[in-house]
Each structure stands twice: as structure tokens, then as C-alpha cells.
Amino acid sequence: MKSYIIFNSNSNPFLKILSLSSLYLQVFFFFLIQIHFSFSSSPKTLIFPLKTQTLRSPNKLQFHHNVSLIVSLTVGIPPQNVSMVLDTGSELSWLHCNRTTGNNQSDPKKFDPTQSTSYKPVLCSSPTCINQTQDFPIPASCDSENLCHATLSYADASSSEGNLASDIFHLGSSDNFSGLVFGCMGSIFSSNSDEDSKTTGLMGMNRGSLSFVSQMGYPKFSYCISGFDFSGLLLLGDSNFTWLTPLNYTPLIQISQPLPYFDRVAYTVQLEGIKVSGKLLPIPKSVLVPDHTGAGQTMVDSGTQFTFLLEPVYNVLRAEFLNQTGGILRVLGDPNFVFQGAMDLCYLVPLGQNNLPNLPSVSFIFTGAEMVVSGDRVLYRVPGEIRGNDSVWCLSFGNSDLLGVEAYVIGHHHQQNMWMEFDLEKSRIGLAHVRCDLARQRFGVDL
């Protein structure tokens, strides 16, 4: 049996001080260890230039002339250049793949898995295929080679399909992420293949387990799009910078039970009201919350250009905007013209007119935050549409019912000149009005 010497610190003040000092040292080192692990467990902040590019990217809405946000990086060993559409409304990242066979030459706009020594297909029996594809709109399947097969389809009748795979994604000069799962899509069906060929694929950034940001392990990410030169930046990691305007946060809405029209991994916020030039519109609260089927959620989506509202709310906004612009804009007055099937309030503006008149602002009121859309962003010039000596401009908010979409969608056109922070750790979105072109310069980000 071991013998122990027990000191009673209460009887000796000096020993009591030693005992307390030892306790404080233990607590101090404990917190040092906790701080070390909290910093080492999160990847370091990375910044990418964000470009806007006119193309028709596959998305949930029936748009054929879309402006998308583009991120450029390299994938594989040796690295291949890829450009990906930033999409907070999608989960699976994917690349348009082109396998080199025989004398065929690789397409520089596509990713060639046969040229990457680090490329690994995902088996359909793997936990990734079985457990992590449950939020896909179309369930993953098993192909003839026992590989995990994915099919993505969109409301504009475009689709892509191929196999899940993993490879190394190079995110900077020395930052590599190996084993990132993506879709290597060999078949792309589209109504406009020329426009789709401008990018290699899509970067899914929603809250699903296979999204790019989830796999990277970042607790938050941000982006900022300039309304002046349409440049921007994507920041992976924390954005606590002293020069950044304090953010107003709105919580993400969670519904745990599966509902037919509710996207559980989307960035869903609570829209509480809409104002036009400060006037609160008479919109019943009941139409702004999801119903028993999940229809009526409000999603913040960087993969959609414009904002779409369910018909009862759209009609109220349309009527008020029409009323406030009665003396400053000429209505097109063509009942047969509906831009992209969803925007039916359009105006005629003389071709020689360089500036639009002062337009009413439109404000979206969320729980704890507000997004103000003002200036030219309230309208959108229809490309190539000329009526006599006039160009055609439409209200940049559409009727989502006309597109068959049972939701409110806040698109990136109305997120310009706003710092958008997506905090996955605390389930919230932060908003702040900033000059995004100046923010990009502060970070020294070159396009």
C-alpha cells in the first residue's frame, strides 16, 4: 500500500498561497489549451476575387439572361483552372467534366479527371453516397460501375448528371483542401450551351453537409458585390475587421420536419414587411411565413439574379411603385410583354437619357435587419429591347408564382453594395451597407 503525505493548507497561509497559485496556473493553462484548439480547429481566412459575368447559369428560376457571381480557382494534380458560379441556394458543387480518350484533346473550359492523379470516384456503397445525399432534390443512385450517380434538374428545364468524386481544391498559393466531394458532370442539358460554356461549374454554398463551405469546415463566409464596377470579393472565415460597418443580424429560420415546399438547407430568413420610400406596405403577416406545406419561405440566394415575391405581396409592391412613379416614368403599356415571364411592370426611357430620375427605394424588413434597394438597382434595363427611340426598363422584382416557385427569393442584384455574412455557427445572416469596391481595395484583391 502506498503512503501519502497530506498537507492541510488551511493551517498554513504560505501553503494556502501555493495551493491557490497552483489552481490558478491550472486554470490558466486550461484556457490556453482551449484557445489554441479553438484557433487551430478553424481554417484560416481566405479571400477570393468575385467577378460578375453575363451568362445563363443553371438555377431554380426560368431565366435565360442571367448575371452570375464567378469564383476562379484550381482543382486536381496537376492543377486545372476552373471557374464556378457562387450559389448559396445549392448544395452540391459540380464541375463540367470532359474525359480525354484516344486522340481527343481536353476542353480548357472543362475539368478533365483523367489528367488528375488525385481524382477519386465515390462508390455508391460509401457512407458519403448513402448518408450525405439525403437533401438532394433527386436521390443519388448507383450506376453500372457501382459509382455514386447524381442528377440535378432546374425549373428552366436544364439539368446535369454525373458521378460524385473527390479531388484536391487549391484555394491559394499554399492552401489546399484534399478530398473535397463534388459532382463530375459529364452530361449537361441546356437551352443555351454557348452561355453555359463560359464557366466550368457551380460552387454550392448552402447549409447541406456536402456544400463547399460545410466540407471546408468554415463557420462563416461573406461576400460583397460592388454596384459601381460589379466586382467583388468572397471571404471564407471571420470578417471581424475594425473598418467594417457593424453588421445587423437576422436569424435563420429552421424547420426540422420535412415539408414538400420547404428547403431545409437554404438560408431562410423571416421577412416581416416591405417599405417603398419609407411607406410600410399593407401586407398581412400571415402571407410572409411558411404555411403547413413549407411554401412561403424567404431565401437569400446568390445564384439568382433578381428578387421574386409571391403574388399577393408582389401585387401590393407593384401597385405602390406604380403610384409613386406616376409623374416621373412612362409605363410601357404592352400587356403582352412580360420580361422573363415574371416582370410585368416596365417603363420607357429615352435612349439618350444617361441617368434615371430619382426613384423610390424599396426596403425589405427582416427580424433584426433591413435591406434597402435604391437608385438604378430598383429597375433593370432589358438587354436588346428597343421601342422606337426608347429603351425598356422593368421593375427588378418579379412574381414568383408565374415561375412556379412557392417562395420569396432575394437575389444578388439587390445585395449589391452590402456586406453579406453567412454565419453557420450561430445560424444567422449579417447585413451592412458598404462600398464593396472600396472593401475589395482594402483587402488588396485584384480581379
Give the residue-averaged pLDDT of 231-255: 88
Residue-level pLDDT at 360: 97
Is residue 8 scored above 60 in pLDDT?
no
Residue-level pLDDT at 43: 73
Average pLDDT value for the chain: 85
User: Which of 21-30, 185-194, 267-276, 366-375 shows the lowest mean pLDDT across its residues?
Assistant: 21-30
Is residue 443 scored above 90 in pLDDT?
no
Question: What structural domains and CATH numbers belong to the chain?
Answer: 46-217 (2.40.70.10), 248-443 (2.40.70.10)
Cα 219 to Cα 213, 251, 379, distances in angstroms? 8, 15, 35
The pLDDT-based confidence of 104 (bands split at 50, 70, 90) is low
Provide, rounded to the nearest whole percent, the portion of the chain with pLDDT above 70.
Answer: 82
Residue-level pLDDT at 55: 54
Q: How confident is the model over 56-65, as pLDDT tens digits? A: 444 445 444 4
Is residue 221 scored above 90 in pLDDT?
yes
Residue-level pLDDT at 35: 37
Is residue 442 scored above 90 in pLDDT?
no
Residue-level pLDDT at 288: 97
Q: 351 versus 2: which is more confidently predicted? A: 351
Give the residue-averaged pLDDT of 212-235: 90
Provide, rounded to the nearest whole percent, the portion of the chain with pLDDT above 90.
Answer: 64
Give the residue-averaged pLDDT of 298-324: 96
Q: 304 versus 103: which is more confidently predicted? A: 304
What does the H/E/C string look like for the chain? CCCCCCCCHHHCHHHHHHHHHHHHHHHHHHHHHHHHHHHHCCCCCEEEEEEEEECCCCCCCCCCCCEEEEEEEEECCCCEEEEEEEECCCCCCEEEECCCCCCCCCCCCCECHHHCCCCEECECCCHHHHHCCCCCCCCCEECCCCEEEEEEECCCCCEEEEEEEEEEEECCCCCEEEEEEEEEEEEEECCCHHHHCCCCEEEECCCCCCCHHHHHCCCEEEEEECCCCCEEEEEECCCCCCCCCCCEEEECCCCCCCCCCCCCCCCEECEEEEEECCEECCCCHHHHCCCCCCCCEEEECCCCCCEEECHHHHHHHHHHHHHHCCCCCEECCCCCCCECCCECCEEEEECCCCCCCCCCCEEEEECCEEEEECHHHHEEEEEEEEECCEEEEEECEEEHHHHCCCEEEECHHHHECEEEEEECCCCEEEEEECCHHHHHHHHCCCC
Q: How confident is the model over 253-289, as pLDDT tens digits? A: 999 888 999 999 999 999 999 999 999 999 999 999 9
Q: Which three cell numbers stand for residue 425?
A: 455557427
Give the residue-averaged pLDDT of 306-327: 97
Q: Dihedral, CA atoms, 110, 116, 118, 123, nearest 10 degrees?
A: 60
Q: 267 versus 14: which is more confidently predicted? A: 267
Catalytic sites, residue numbers: 87, 301
Q: 357 versus 191: which is more confidently predicted? A: 357
Q: How confident is the model over 143-174, as pLDDT tens digits? A: 999 999 999 876 666 788 999 999 999 987 66
The pLDDT-based confidence of 200 (bands split at 50, 70, 90) is confident
Residue-level pLDDT at 203: 95
Give the residue-averaged pLDDT of 365-376: 96
Give the residue-averaged pLDDT of 409-429: 95
Cα 204 to Cα 30, 79, 201, distances in angstroms? 38, 20, 10
Q: How confident is the model over 171-181, as pLDDT tens digits? A: 876 678 999 99
The radius of gyration computed from the CA coordinates of the chain, to the nearest angstrom, equals: 26
Q: Which three cell numbers stand for residue 28?
A: 490558466
Residue-level pLDDT at 433: 92
pTM of the model: 0.85
